[in-house]
Amino acid sequence: MEPDFYGMAPEGVTVHSARILLERVTLEELEAMSLEALRAGALLATAGVDVLVYGCTSGSLLKGVEWEERLVSRIEEETGIPTVSTAGAVVEGLRSLGIRRVGVATPYTDDINQLERRFLEAHGFDVGAIQGLQLVDNHDIADVAPERILGFVDEVGGGCDGVFISCTNLPAVPLIGRLESRLRRPIVTSNQASMWACLRALGVGGVEGHGRLLSQL
């Protein structure tokens, strides 16, 4: 997520990070990671940041809509800083593009994909297809080759208004332009949506080169 944020940040916007341990994308480790969110938020608050993002897709939708909303509220209450989660940013990003029926490509295992489907459907989206690469190790997810991502997205994009590529550790941002040209529909990724939500909170817009979502700000 960090290199993607550095690459998307427009002039005058700085990026500050506090890491939370996650080595394997499993339900148990994702829940343990969420318990560290308040500490990480408090650390970042000392930098005088204007907005915080809890940067994990599956980790911010793990227990449903109300849980995600409570997590964001708790970070805001603890830090006094406006906060977004990746899952919440994705929902708002899809809505802003008018996407109702969405195809979802993830690196996850089926159990996490089912949680993601449930979360999106609870927000009113029609999940036309959701497919995962069945990866668990975070390094394996970060090392997925571009051609594999391109082919994988093609498989879920048919018959949908747009495609959501899930996971903040999947290197999908550099592929957004190619995919939007090829599929002729908007592409939303976890990191792109997270940056979009942060910039919207900051009142910053007009970011080109990373897909329709950021360019329409």
What mean pLDDT comes out for the span 185-201?
Answer: 97
The residue segments making up the domain with residue 166 are 2-215
What phi and psi values does residue 54 have, to the nearest 5 degrees?
A: -85, 100
Percent of the chain with pLDDT over 70: 100
Instruction: Calculate the CA 88 to chain-centre distance.
Output: 8
Domain total for the chain?
A: 1
CA-closest candidate to residue 119, choices 68, 193, 53:
68
What is the tens place of the pLDDT at every residue in 76-112?
999 999 999 999 999 999 999 999 999 999 999 999 9
Model confidence at 205: pLDDT above 90: no
Question: Which pLDDT band holds residue 206 (cuts at 50, 70, 90)?
Answer: confident
pLDDT of 157 reads: 86
CATH assignment at residue 19:
3.40.50.12500
Average model confidence (pLDDT) across the chain: 95
- CB distance 207 to 10 below 8 Å: yes
182 membership: H or E segment, kind and range: helix 176-183
What would the two tokens of residue 26 be?
């499993």
